[in-house]
Amino acid sequence: MKLKTLEISGFKSFADRTKIEFMPGITGVVGPNGSGKSNIIEAIRWVMGEQSAKGLRGDKMSDVIFGGTSQRAPLNRAEVSITFDNTDRYLNSDYSEIRITRALYRNGDSKYQINGTTVRLKDIHELFMDSGLGRESFSIISQGRVESIFSAKPEERRSIIEDVAGVYKYKQNKDKAEKELTGVQDNLNRVQDILYELE
């Protein structure tokens, strides 16, 4: 699986539509301080479902929308699209090319799409689940993250290892099954109460 393109429009400092094409090999982004290098990485995290405004250096999610400059009025919408080459089927999808789009409007409306079809955030998370990508993954290491892993509590470090080992999905399924089991047990208890009253 390869990252092919990133299209950014109205996101943070990228007021105009900007398309970045990733060539084979390593890509380096260079530029003066404050020119928007980190905003590119944040656009990638955002389109892949990041939900924390703080994780994107903002107070609220609408802070990612281009907020204007002395020469340019603020915009009403941020939109980012990312395209992966999935010919090796690394991501669990029948598509050999996967394009994910996320848009956010100032009034709070938002949408996610996979290959042009509107989907839920959950579908985006499921697409990346156990792929080593997605939120909280280690494919993107931001400044300060290395230090935070070193100083993490053992339980926090354990969840990192579980995530890398790919057991997260199974833990989620187990939690869901346990909740269902509790519901069934409650129903059984209720039936037994009714039977008792009838006897």
Q: Which residues are annotated as a binding site?
A: 32-39
* Binding positions for ligand ATP, 4-33, rule CB under 6 A: 12-13, 31, 33
Q: State the minimum distance, in angstroms, from the CB of residue 31 to ligand ATP.
A: 5
**Tokens standing for residue 120:** 């839920």
Which listed range, 35-43, 87-95, 128-136, 149-157, lies at the site for ligand ATP (CB under 6 A)?
Answer: 35-43
Residues 6+ positions from 180 with CB-CB distance below 8 Å: none
Between residues 4 and 37, which has the closer beta carbon with respect to ligand ATP? 37
Pick from 90, 100, 86: nearest CA to 50:
100
CA distances from 149 to 71, 106, 157, 195 (A): 41, 35, 7, 55
Secondary structure of residue 64 in the 3-state scheme:
helix
Neighbours of 173 (CB within 10 A): 10
Between residues 12 and 45, which has the closer beta carbon with respect to ligand ATP? 12
Secondary structure of residue 70 in the 3-state scheme:
coil
Q: State the minimum distance, in angstroms, from the CB of residue 72 to ligand ATP.
A: 9
Number of residues that bind ligand ATP (CB under 6 A): 14
* Binding positions for ligand ATP, 40-99, rule CB under 6 A: 63, 65-67
Q: What residues form the annotated binding site for ATP?
A: 32-39
Binding interface with ligand ATP (CB under 6 A): 12-13, 31, 33-39, 63, 65-67
